[in-house]
Structure 1
Amino acid sequence: MKNVLQLQSISTWLPTASKPVIISGPCSAETEDQMITTAKQLAATGKVHALRAGIWKPRTRPGQYEGAGEEGLKWLAQAKKETGLPITTEVANAAHVNACLKAGVDILWIGARTTVNPFSVQEIADALKGVDIPVMVKNPINPDLELWIGGLERLNKAGITKLAAIHRGFSSFEKGPFRNAPMWDLGIELKTRIPDLDIICDPSHIAGNRELIAMISQKALDLDMAGVMIESHINPDAAWSDAKQQVTPAVLGKIVDSLVVRSVSSDNKTFKDTLSILRDQIDQLDDEIMQKLASRMKISEKIGQYKKENNVTILQVSRWEEIIQTRIKLGKAMGLNEEFTAELLKLIHQESIQIQTTVMNKVAERV
C-alpha cells in the first residue's frame, strides 16, 4: 500500500544541486575555527551542495561531548556566510527548532533517536506549523518502517512538504562489519511506499569506519537514492565525536569523484527491447516459482494431517537440519549465495509450520 504525501523534491529546495546531492561537514561543530575551516575546504572541492554539523549531540552516556549548543549555530551561520552554502543541523525538540529558525538554518534534520519517539516528532511538527523549511527524517534506531513513515506523516500534516528521508542504518545486537546494519530492503520498501520521497544515505553512520564510506555510497546510488550525507572534518582523528567515521574534505572530494551515477532508464531501443525480453523471462520464472511454492505448501498440509492422525509433533529437528544442509549445499553448487538460501529456506519452513499448525489444531466439524 502506497502512502500519499504532499512532497517537493530536493531539487526545489536545493536548486543548485545535481544528482547525487552531497551534504557534508563535521559530526559536531567543536570550535568556530574548526567549523569554518572545514566549511571552506569543503566548498573548495566544488562537490558539496549543503553544509552539515551537529550542534546538539544526543550521546549514549553523559560525559561525552554533547555539542556546542546555540553558540555553535553562530559558527554554522558564519560558515554559510563565507561559503554561500546552505546549512543543516539536527533538532530534537521545539527549543532547537526555534533557535535554528532564529539563526537562519536552511534545512533541519531529525535524528534516529528522536524519530523513534512520536511525542518528540509531534513536538517538532507543532513548532514548524506555518514555516516553509525543508526537513529530513532519519530512520529510527530500530528497524520499524511504520515509525519512520509516521514521522514523515506528522511533519507533512503540519504543512511541511519539503521532506526527505535519511537512511543511516539500524542498531543491532549482532556485531558485523557495519556500525549500523544498512538493511537496504527497508529503504527500498520506503521508496516503494512513497515513490515521490527523496532518500539521502548517511554512509558515515552505517559504516562507523571511513574505509567503508565509498562502497556504501555507491550502493546507495545504485539503489537510486538521491544523494549522501558524509561527515567531514579537517582533522578526523582528533574529532571530539565519531572520529573513525569522518574523512577530510580532500578525501570527501575523491569519494564523490569515484561515484558512478546511473540512470533509472535509457532511451536506447536495443537496451529497452533486451530488458523487456529478460523481464518477461523473469515473470515466467516467478510464475513457476509461485506455482511450485503453492504445490509445496499443499504437501505440507497433507503432512500436517498425517502427523495429526498419528499423533506426531510438527517440528522434526533432524529433518529440518537435513533440509538446511542439503539445500544450502545444492544452492551453492548452483551459484546461489549461502545466506540467501538459508533465509529463503527459513521463510518456507515457517510457512510450512504455520500450515501444519492450522491443520493440527483444526477442530473437526460436527455432523
Structure 2
Amino acid sequence: MKLNLNIQPLSSWINVKNEPLIISGPCSAETEDQLLSTAHLLAATGKVSVLRAGIWKPRTRPGEFEGIGSIGLEWLKKAKAETGLPTAVEVANAKHVEEALAAGVDILWIGARSTANPFTVQEIADALKGVDIPVLIKNPVNPDISLWIGALERINNAGITKLGAIHRGFSSYEKSSFRNEPMWELAIQLKTLCPELPIINDPSHICGNRELIPYISQKALDLDMQGLMIESHIDPSVAWTDAKQQVTPAALEELIAKLSLRDPESNNEAFADKLAELRKQIDKIDDVMLQKLSERMAIVEKIGQYKRDSKVTILQVNRWDEILKKGTAFAKALKLDLGFTEKFLELVHAESIRKQTAIMNEGKTEEEIVEAAAAKA
C-alpha cells in the first residue's frame, strides 16, 4: 500500500547549495554571540544550506535548560540577514508556530516527542492551515511507523505540501553504541510507502557522540536519503545541551568533504546488465528459501498436532537451545553474521510457536483469541 500524500519535490522548496542538503547549527541557541558566530562559520564553509537552532527545548526532566525562548528567534532573524542562510526551528505547539512564522523562520520541524502525540500534531496542523512553509517531521521516540505516517498525513491534510521526514533513530532498552537505534528498516519502509517523500537523516541524535557521525552520515547517503541534519556549535565543550553530539563548523566542513555521493541509478549499460544478472540469481535463491520455509512450516504443523494429541507443551527450551547453538555454529562456518543469524532463527522460531499455538487452540491464532476476549470484556 502506497501513501497518498500530496508532496512537492525537495528541489522546489529549498535552494540546496551543494548536495546533499545540509541543515546545521547549534542544538540550542544560547546567546546571541554564540548563535551568530556559529552561523557565520557555517556559512563560510559553503556546504550548509539551512541554519538550525533549538529555541524551545523539551527536556526529559524539569530544571534543565529548556531553551532561550522567543528572544532566540530575533537572533535567528539577524543570523539570516547577515549570512543569507534560511533558518529552521522546532515547534511543539500552536504558539511556537505563530511566533516562528512572525519571525520569518523558513522551515519548521516537529520533534520526536511531539510526533508521538497525535493531539500535539493536530494542534500544530491546525495552526499551519493556509500557510505555505516547509515542514519536516521527525520519527516518534518509539519505533512506531504508524505514528510517523499519521503525523505526516495530519500536516499534509492541513495543506502543507512542502513536506519531509527526519530519521533520528528510536529509543531502545537494549544496550547500544547509539543514543537512538537507527532501525534503518523503518526509514526504508517509509521510503518504500512514499518514494517521493524527502527523508533527512539526523546523525547527531542517532549517535549521541560526534565520533560516530561520519559513519552514520555516509550510511544515510548510501541509503538514498536526501540530506543530513548535523548539530554544530562554535565550541561544543561548553554547549548547554547535548555537548557530546555537536561538532565545530570546521569539523563539519571536513566531515562533509569526506562523504562519498553515489547515484541511485546508473546509465552504464554494462553495469545495468551485470546487476540484472546478479539480481536474477538472488531471485532464484529467494524462491528456494521461501519454498524451504514453507516445507519447514508444514512439518512444524505436524509437530504441533503430535504435541497436542500427546499433551506436550509447545515450548521445549532444550530443543530451542539446540537449534540456536547448531545454527550459529553453522553460520560462523559459512561466514554469516551471527547477529543476523540469531535474529533470523528467532523469527522462524516465533512463527513456529505461533503456528503450534493455533493448532493447540483449535485453529485460532493468539491475535484472534485476544480480540475475542476483548470483545467480550
Range into which the TM-score falls when normalised by the shorter chain = over 0.9
- Deviation (angstroms), 1:128: 0.4
Return 317-326 or 300-309, whichever deviates more. Answer: 300-309
Taking the TM superposition and a 5 Å limit, the aligned residue runs for 1:249-264 are 249-264=249-264
- Aligned counterpart, 1:326: 326
* Partner Cα distance (1:288, 1:334) in 2: 18
Query: 2:109 is paired with a residue of what secondary structure?
Result: strand
- Deviation (angstroms), 1:220: 0.4
Return 17-26 or 99-108, whichever deviates more. Answer: 17-26
RMSD: 0.8
- Aligned counterpart, 1:338: 338
* Partner Cα distance (2:329, 2:340) in 1: 12
- Deviation (angstroms), 1:294: 0.2
Query: 1:34 is paired with a residue of what secondary structure?
Result: helix
Taking the TM superposition and a 5 Å limit, the aligned residue runs for 1:226-241 are 226-241=226-241
Kept after mapping to 1: 8 A contact 2:55/2:72: yes
The AA in structure 2 aligned to 1:145 is I
- Aligned counterpart, 1:244: 244
- Aligned counterpart, 1:183: 183
- Aligned counterpart, 1:155: 155
Kept after mapping to 2: 8 A contact 1:11/1:17: no
* Partner Cα distance (1:50, 1:128) in 2: 21
Matched, 1:59 2:66: no
| TM-score of the aligned structures, taking structure 2 as reference length | 0.95
- Aligned counterpart, 1:133: 133
Matched-pair identity in %: 64
Count of residue pairs the alignment pairs up? 363
- Deviation (angstroms), 1:14: 1.1
* Partner Cα distance (1:72, 1:307) in 2: 67
- Deviation (angstroms), 1:360: 2.2
Kept after mapping to 2: 8 A contact 1:65/1:241: yes
* Partner Cα distance (2:354, 2:61) in 1: 43
Matched, 1:84 2:84: yes
- Deviation (angstroms), 1:361: 2.2
- Deviation (angstroms), 1:175: 2.1
- Deviation (angstroms), 1:145: 0.2
- Aligned counterpart, 2:194: 194
Matched, 1:295 2:324: no
* Partner Cα distance (1:87, 1:273) in 2: 44
Deviations 1:230-272 (A, max 9, x none): 0000000100000000000000000100110110110111100
- Aligned counterpart, 2:370: none
- Deviation (angstroms), 1:362: 1.8
Query: 2:74 is paired with a residue of what secondary structure?
Result: helix
Query: 2:47 is paired with a residue of what secondary structure?
Result: coil
Deviations 1:337-366 (A, max 9, x none): 101000111111111111112222227xxx
* Partner Cα distance (1:299, 1:188) in 2: 33
Kept after mapping to 1: 8 A contact 2:51/2:86: yes
The AA in structure 1 aligned to 2:353 is I
- Deviation (angstroms), 1:13: 1.3
- Deviation (angstroms), 1:12: 1.1
- Aligned counterpart, 2:225: 225
Matched, 1:36 2:36: yes
- Aligned counterpart, 1:170: 170
Gaps of at least 5 residues in structure 1 are none
Query: 1:229 is paired with a residue of what secondary structure?
Result: strand
- Aligned counterpart, 1:362: 362
* Partner Cα distance (1:309, 1:119) in 2: 51
* Partner Cα distance (2:324, 2:316) in 1: 13
* Partner Cα distance (1:4, 1:173) in 2: 34
Return 169-178 or 281-290, whichever deviates more. Answer: 169-178
Kept after mapping to 2: 8 A contact 1:89/1:105: yes
* Partner Cα distance (1:142, 1:156) in 2: 22
* Partner Cα distance (1:358, 1:62) in 2: 48
- Aligned counterpart, 1:110: 110
The AA in structure 1 aligned to 2:55 is I
* Partner Cα distance (2:40, 2:287) in 1: 56
- Aligned counterpart, 1:47: 47
The AA in structure 1 aligned to 2:351 is E
The AA in structure 2 aligned to 1:280 is K
* Partner Cα distance (2:41, 2:288) in 1: 56
The AA in structure 1 aligned to 2:195 is P
Query: 2:177 is paired with a residue of what secondary structure?
Result: coil
Matched, 1:315 2:333: no
The AA in structure 2 aligned to 1:132 is D
- Deviation (angstroms), 1:139: 0.5
The AA in structure 2 aligned to 1:312 is V
- Aligned counterpart, 1:7: 7
The AA in structure 2 aligned to 1:233 is H
* Partner Cα distance (1:187, 1:3) in 2: 14
- Aligned counterpart, 2:369: none
The AA in structure 2 aligned to 1:243 is A
Query: 2:64 is paired with a residue of what secondary structure?
Result: coil
Return 241-250 or 10-19, whichever deviates more. Answer: 10-19
